[in-house]
A and B are shown apart, each in its own frame.
Chain A
Amino acid sequence: MKQYKYFRGGVKAPHYKNTENVETTVMPIPDLIEIPMLHHIGAPCDPLVKPGDEILVGQKIGDSDKYISAPVHTGVSGKVKKINNVLFPNGETVKSVLIESDKKQELHPSIKPPVINSKKDFIAAIRESGLVGLGGAGFPTHVKLNPPEGIKIEYLLINGAECEPYITSDYRESIENSWNIISGINIIMEYLEIDKVIIGIEDNKPKAVEVLTGIAKTSDKIDIMPLKSKYPQGAEKMLIYSLTGKVVPAGKLPLDVGVIVLNVASVAFIASYIKTGMPLTKKRITIDGGAVKQPANIEVFVGTYIKEAISFAGGFKEVPKKILMGGPMMGVSQFNLDSPILKQNNAILAFNEKQSKMPEQTACIKCGRCVSVCPMNLMPVYFDIFNESGDADQLSKLDVLSCIECGSCSFVCPASRYLVQSIRNGKLLVRARGSK
């Protein structure tokens, strides 16, 4: 099946997919893990355990009564050492549960396959599983699956584009866990009554396309669409456009145009959860970057410290100067190596000195490259100017809030302007001013 549409703009990002042929290895249980109460977009959870509690594998340790939120579970058994605070890179402080593992890995009695008789049961089960969008954004999946009254879901789109450099965790998922992906798709199709499914994968991953095509033959409702390798092909709005030609209006969700987009790892998890009832406590991540000795794909428990994951993968060969959660285009740089790995992390990159230093900004030469690469058809050059002059009105008129922060503009800027930084700040200015 051929790609339906080609989105405008975008950049040719380097691939650096050093780990694409590296099979996933499972990291042994660490002595200590720290599970934050916030992995998702939405309200943080409150801890359900207190210091001294003995906890078992799969036990729910945090939950919230807010709709846009997802519960948190432990993947290890052991003892709660303390309720801690972790500092997130955005400056927020979030509660976390520090767990000393006993390595016995005894299963919590609540872990059994969920009983599902209706769509409502299904969505409730997904909420209980703690699943959030595993592609990186971490939007609670049960919210995504629950369309408002009167909206018919036409398409289920599966995102295996993985357009960020370095990261290969979704690619490995597609190859190593392909049967779960297809069975997850079938489960969702059944409960949500969807008849059209398209799996989008960038055409630089022919093996994943081949493997999934082979399995998808079992159903005539599932199509695989190889996509042009262009960053940000995996961005939700771009993917929807590429696969269906639908445009998500500004400020709306994919649900509003009758589309649900799920990451390959998310659907595979749904299949395994329905089978076993084991909530989301593990994650496949890519470890790479110029400072690590051995680029690898590893499976870790959510809450494992970055430094332990890297040292399991082989440790450092150079002093790390920048630690990224996620890919180099949209990843978040960390303050230190003691941050725990989150549910939606798909990569940890450790850069050496040379990779870490971004060039100094020079004067904008008005070349318009940022304008021509913007997949959202925005004018980043003006965001930079109006952010500097603090002009929230102009920023809002130019639709700064529509920016998806993909980083294409900063990537191509010959003057190395920190455009995404200006845009993030500009969004704050607009929000602080209030909507008009």
Chain B
Amino acid sequence: MEHKLYVNSSPHIKDVAKTSNIMFDVIIALIPATIISIYLYSYMAAIIIGVTVLSSVLFETLYNLLTKQKQTVGDFSAVVTGLLLALTLPPAASSIWLGVVGSLVAIIIVKMIFGGLGQNIFNPAIAARVFLTVAFSSQMTTWLSPGADAISTATPLALASNGIVTSNIDLFLGNIPGCIGETSALALLLGFGWLLIRKVIKLDITLTYLLTVVVFSFIIGADPLFHLLSGGLLLGAIFMATDYSTSPMTRNGKIIFGFGLGIITMSIRVYGNLPEGVSFAILFMNVLVPLIDRYTIPKSFGGVKKKNA
């Protein structure tokens, strides 16, 4: 035989989609939020983001080196995790080392030990944030109002529980105290648009989540817009609840997931002691994902009965 031929199972062409491209799209989608955070909190935000992203990448690289596994850092998922984690930290100097500790938890404990990308049960950034909130609660709640003369203050949700109202316009633009990247709804929605255009995510989870929050607010007589725009809801609903590994794969599953997130978030916000429910809601629903996936397996085309895996 004159030529050696490749022989493999069909198909023999591939779409351009690659894991690294998808992660890259998520990074692009986070750029508006990153820019606004740097605009609002200047170099402090830049340092926190830089340090957190770098340490996430470093931890994944080191883990793969030490455990003698194939280097996976090229898929950019560690960058996404680091960036997301950084955007959920308060704009204070203490966040620099919080970012390093958080990255260690997110990458090593939440992601790599479970088998790396795709195998983790919890969203790494959310799990790390919850760890930091519990372990370093005072540092994690050092809020500053945006601007050059940043002063210590409380977040709109915390203010609201004391009866102080923040304007929705300020909420929308991000001119409010909060984590560095979660305050500007406008920036986050721009990112959402990008993810939808690039078909990285579908509407299902985010839309159900937000709608549930709106309906819940109506029922209890609260301002839905305030609840939509405050806290980490948009950042969580757009970027974290839609994390592939830790959200259901079927359409029905996604809708159940989004509904559960909305209910838990609002329950914590309204009836709980914590001002912020998004992180805990996502963490809790993450646990249910295998179960949701299992019970939402659709009937095959022409198939007869519903089956469970």
Contacts and interface: CB of A to CB of B under 8 A. Distances in A.
B147 interface: no
A397 interface: yes
B300 interface: yes
Nearest to A247: B302
A321 B3 contact: yes
Interface in B2-20: 2-15, 17-19
Contact of B117 (A321, A365, A411, A421): A365
Given A394-B309, A414-B18, A399 B300 contact: yes
Contact of A322 (B2, B5, B118): B5
Interface string B1-39: 111111111111111011101100000000000000000
A152 interface: no
Interface string B172-203: 00000000000000000000000000000010
Contacts of B271: none
Interface string B247-267: 011110000000000000000
Contacts of B17: 369, 412-414
Contacts of B5: 320-323, 333-336, 356
B250 A324 contact: no
A429 to B, nearest CB: 15
Nearest to A13: B13
Interface string A407-431: 1001111111010110010000000
Given A362-B19, A414-B21, A398 B75 contact: no
B66 interface: no
Contacts of B309: 379, 382, 394, 397-398
A328 B301 contact: no
B9 A421 contact: yes
Interface in B118-162: 118-119
Contacts, number: 169
Nearest to A291: B3
Contacts of B270: none
Chief secondary structure at chain B's binding surface: loop
Contacts of B117: 363, 365
Interface in B223-271: 244-245, 248-251
Contacts of A143: none
A89 B116 CA distance: 36
Q: Interface residues of B toward A: which range?
A: 35 or more
A358 interface: yes
B12 A381 contact: no
Given A363-B72, A363-B118, A11 B15 contact: yes
Contacts of A351: 12
Contact of B22 (A322, A358, A367, A378): A367
A45 to B, nearest CB: 26
A2 interface: no
Nearest to A396: B307
A347 B301 CA distance: 29
A362 B76 CA distance: 13
B299 A377 contact: yes
Given A363-B72, A418-B9, A319 B300 contact: no
Contacts of A363: 72, 115-119
Which among A237, A378, A414 has the greatest number of chain B C-beta atoms within 10 A?
A414
A108 interface: no
B304 interface: yes
A349 to B, nearest CB: 8
A112 to B, nearest CB: 41
B308 interface: yes
11 contacts: A89-B7, A319-B3, A331-B12, A332-B10, A333-B6, A366-B244, A375-B301, A381-B249, A407-B11, A410-B14, A411-B13
